[in-house]
A and B are shown apart, each in its own frame.
Chain A
């Protein structure tokens, strides 16, 4: 194995990626000291690089992504040891974008590994619908299921879903130019497995075993229950037209969904309706058979990708219980009130600062010569000849300034 290698983690969403990226980001200095580069100056650097690589608009954030992939790739090329890149939306990259990405990282001269973390479809489908809702969508769950089950895959939602979730196709695209031994499939353990098992699988895959790392998570992408997701969807319906993406992100996605409603862990969880189970079962078995045949390096167990044969009772988020939605809405109102009060306090402090600044400014304008000039201009503006004179003066002054 060459000393230099690149580990490219390309998905999939909702497989513990936010936690992994948080650990890597917060420990980046420690990692660098141990020969592992996680090239990021801000938490979302790899997200921005992915937006840049895929020319992907993202509610205005894409404007911060100009040139981000090339900068990231340059840092990786300049590093002599192991480098890790991780973002789950890379799963949907096209072949041309993947070719560009691999070339920019030094392929074929550099040893590149592709890592795909995966979870069973019965958990991924509702999780993807929830992500859609947290990104302003208003589509009902049943309609979402219909769209993704349509074999033509013509809708935007279906295109995105399969782009980031169809494991064999993602690995076809990302792994086409690599030896199967350099393609790693990490499976998310089944529910009830030890809490740290997924991290152990990540650590093994990324060569982090035995490194001294702080594993305390500050960021994650927590899940919502049935009434909470139903509530956010309804908020989207009434607020989307007037709430800009730049305001939606901190207020709805972060404050309401992540910081408030995700704490309601007693609510029923999202699942698959019984009539879609068989479809998901069949697809999962086909995927697992295909992955076994391809001979990738599997970290965990491909059986983790087969749906749990004893699912929990399905609760329909399109018909969430009004009492449960109301209770979630009260928590949301309380959170917004507290945030409003905090912003009000902040505004009062800023107003006080502004007043002090204005007083200081007025003091500096109290000189007699300034007041005389101001009076003359005001007087001239009231008369036609005065306005023309001022116009001539301003033009002459403008020309003088430019020539100077």
Chain B
């Protein structure tokens, strides 16, 4: 093998530069390591570029940052993707293997693969400390109303958790059911995101296409049937359908003080996609029963600042979604349940709201999440 010693010395100097928190791109780097060359192969170009971008995002160097960079440089990418790419301008022996590259030109999906692999590895090997003893269970007040929440799983979870935090557990008075809803595009995004946060890995496009092929909605979104089931239990007059309703209105419906229910916040599509891709790697790292805990307890809290609109429904599903939403609106209207909000709001507005994730966007979230993790466990 013909080795370009000057190029190799420059490359090892760049590795040291990155270990020390440096952010200079490879093509602009002019340093060199005097003396003998380091033994062993250089880290791959994708790993080096991820390390550089982490330093860039992190700002000031630190011991934790150095440890994180070290982990990146040792990381093999999970799944299918490019092999360890050589740095352009180092080895002249390029007769075999993938062509050398400028790390800045490595495609975002490859950088993302390295970042996601490391994130999954760190999550699997550094479980969050055991939670502090659970707060004492709030006792039911018999004079409070019993309440049931159903519908959009994101809205239900936010409402349920905030009511419990406010000490408003279901009481013993006659029950009321609240079916929480939004426009159907947002609800589809919420159900899919919910599934991803529970450890699912199905792609949004495939998931949506499957439901359209079956010409039905996911069970959690068959709101007229859910309402009918609740009505059988509580009576139709006690089933309220709350569409895009303010949190205070939801609180009033269940007989709680107005501020007992928080406004819902959604993870951005980029963040949900990061969770999905991390889950794909976790499938081979940890047992199935551990995955929801790792995602819920360890990963999602690191994404607290990654909020955004729902995932956009693709235009090719538009007609089907509108038809489903119109059918749902008509059936709920015919059943005569009290409605909080406007039944027409079940039908998505024009143009359809929401955004799509991008590789660059997911990579940025992954880098920020790795830095957040570093603060906690490295």
A387 to B281, CA, bound (A): 47
A63 touches B76 (CB 8 A): no
B84 touches A55 (CB 8 A): no
B96 touches A290 (CB 8 A): yes
* Nearest CB of chain B from residue A294's CB, rounded to whole Å: 10
| Chain B residues closer than 8 Å to A241, beta-carbon distance | 206, 209, 213
A94-B83, A159-B80, A391-B175 in contact; A57/B280 too (CB < 8 A)? Answer: yes
B97 touches A97 (CB 8 A): no
* Nearest CB of chain A from residue B80's CB, rounded to whole Å: 6
A100 to B76, CA, bound (A): 10
B74 touches A96 (CB 8 A): yes
B235 interfacial contact with A, CB 8 Å: yes
A341 interfacial contact with B, CB 8 Å: no
Interface string of B232-272 (1 = CB under 8 A from A): 01110000000000000000000000000000000000000
Partner of B284 from A51, A93, A160, A388 at Cβ < 8 Å = A51
A159-B80, A388-B174 in contact; A66/B117 too (CB < 8 A)? Answer: no
| Chain B residues closer than 8 Å to A163, beta-carbon distance | 83
* Nearest CB of chain B from residue A395's CB, rounded to whole Å: 8
B336 interfacial contact with A, CB 8 Å: no
A55-B285, A57-B283, A391-B146 in contact; A159/B81 too (CB < 8 A)? Answer: yes
| Chain B residues closer than 8 Å to A100, beta-carbon distance | 76
B75 interfacial contact with A, CB 8 Å: yes
| Chain B residues closer than 8 Å to A290, beta-carbon distance | 95-96
Interface string of B59-78 (1 = CB under 8 A from A): 00000000000000011111
B96 touches A168 (CB 8 A): yes
A181 to B97, CA, bound (A): 22
A312 interfacial contact with B, CB 8 Å: no
A63 touches B283 (CB 8 A): yes
B284 touches A159 (CB 8 A): no
- Residue of chain A at shortest CB distance from B290: A66
B98 interfacial contact with A, CB 8 Å: yes
Interface string of B280-300 (1 = CB under 8 A from A): 110111111000000000000
- Residue of chain B at shortest CB distance from A151: B99
A66 touches B284 (CB 8 A): yes
| Chain A residues closer than 8 Å to B146, beta-carbon distance | 391
| Chain A residues closer than 8 Å to B95, beta-carbon distance | 168, 286, 290
| Chain A residues closer than 8 Å to B117, beta-carbon distance | 55
* Nearest CB of chain B from residue A100's CB, rounded to whole Å: 8
B41 interfacial contact with A, CB 8 Å: yes
Interface string of A185-217 (1 = CB under 8 A from B): 000000000000000000000000000000000
A176 interfacial contact with B, CB 8 Å: yes
Within 8 A of B (CB), among A388-404: 388, 391-392, 395
- Residue of chain A at shortest CB distance from B74: A96
| Chain A residues closer than 8 Å to B99, beta-carbon distance | 151-153
* Nearest CB of chain A from residue B75's CB, rounded to whole Å: 6
A156 interfacial contact with B, CB 8 Å: yes
A166 to B96, CA, bound (A): 8
A95-B84, A384-B235 in contact; A57/B76 too (CB < 8 A)? Answer: no
A65 interfacial contact with B, CB 8 Å: yes
A169 interfacial contact with B, CB 8 Å: yes
| Chain B residues closer than 8 Å to A52, beta-carbon distance | 284
Residues of chain B at the chain A interface (Cβ within 8 Å): 41, 44, 74-84, 95-99, 107, 117, 120, 140, 146, 172, 174-175, 206, 209, 213, 233-235, 280-281, 283-288
Would you mind naming 18 contact pairs between A and B with Cβ atoms under 8 Å apart? A55-B79, A55-B281, A57-B79, A94-B84, A96-B74, A152-B99, A153-B82, A156-B80, A159-B83, A159-B98, A162-B83, A173-B83, A176-B41, A241-B206, A290-B96, A388-B175, A391-B175, A395-B140
